[in-house]
Amino acid sequence: MTRDSRWARRGAVGGFVALGAFWLLVFAAGRLEPGYRPTRDYVSALASEGARFPILGVLALVTFGIAYLAAAVVLQTWVGTRFGALLMAGAGAITWVVALARIHCPDGAANCGHAGTNGVVVARAAGSTLGPHVHGWAVALSYALVAVAMLWLAVLWRRRHHPLRASASGAALIGSLATVPFWVSSDAPGLAQRLWLGILSAWVALVCVRPLVDLDAAQPEEAA
């Protein structure tokens, strides 16, 4: 087994562990937050200033960033695409900014930041607005990098004659994009965000599963 293969498999395992930890922490934080409804309320509110156990929400977002970094390791050492690895490394680092630039929910995470009946996002800000603004822009930038990575992997896998992987990456891109408008224009924005996060998680799993199932492959694919 080559050094790159060992790193790829370690990264793959780390990616799956990080994804599992993320969803477990989101579930636990939501259960412990008074009045919090997963279908209505955003994940970011669990890490907010005012949440009952914000450390759980912060750690959840940090672990999601780790999952992105693990995918970057796999893309570099197994798939053989430095461009894709750089995109995911950037997305992982920016996700840590998302975790640390917390929104303000002085009355608790329930109902904080969700879309009101008039379609306008309810912002119950307190103190400095820098954190919430940085948080929002960091979410958008991180997702933009992941979206480009999804598109790039779809093209790359198509070029390398892996049509199922290419189609799955393309479908993940389209599916994730389709959920975004429902964050502010539906009665269940929290559910829409969780569906988005689920698609992103599934795509990371698609990337990370290769070194664990292609046990006979000792070398990464040619660089691209």
Look at residue 215 in the predicted model and tell me its pLDDT.
62
What is the Cα–Cα distance from 99 to 79, expressed in whole angstroms? Answer: 28
- Point out which residues pair with 134 in neighbouring strands: none
With beta carbons less than 8 A apart as the criterion, state whether 69 and 35 touch.
no
Q: What is the DSSP letter of 55?
A: H
223: three-class secondary structure by DSSP: coil
Tell me the two tokens of residue 33.
Answer: 């937050």
What is the Cα–Cα distance from 11 to 94, expressed in whole angstroms? Answer: 19
Q: Write out pLDDT tens, residues 164-211.
A: 999 999 999 999 999 999 887 788 999 999 999 999 999 999 999 989
With beta carbons less than 8 A apart as the criterion, state whether 7 and 223 touch.
no
With beta carbons less than 8 A apart as the criterion, state whether 30 and 38 touch.
yes
Q: Write out pLDDT tens, residues 8-45.
A: 999 999 999 999 999 999 999 999 999 999 999 999 99
Q: What dihedral angle (degrees, nearest 10) is formed by the CA atoms of 34, 35, 38, 42?
A: -80
**pTM for the whole structure:** 0.89
Tell me the two tokens of residue 111.
Answer: 């109902």
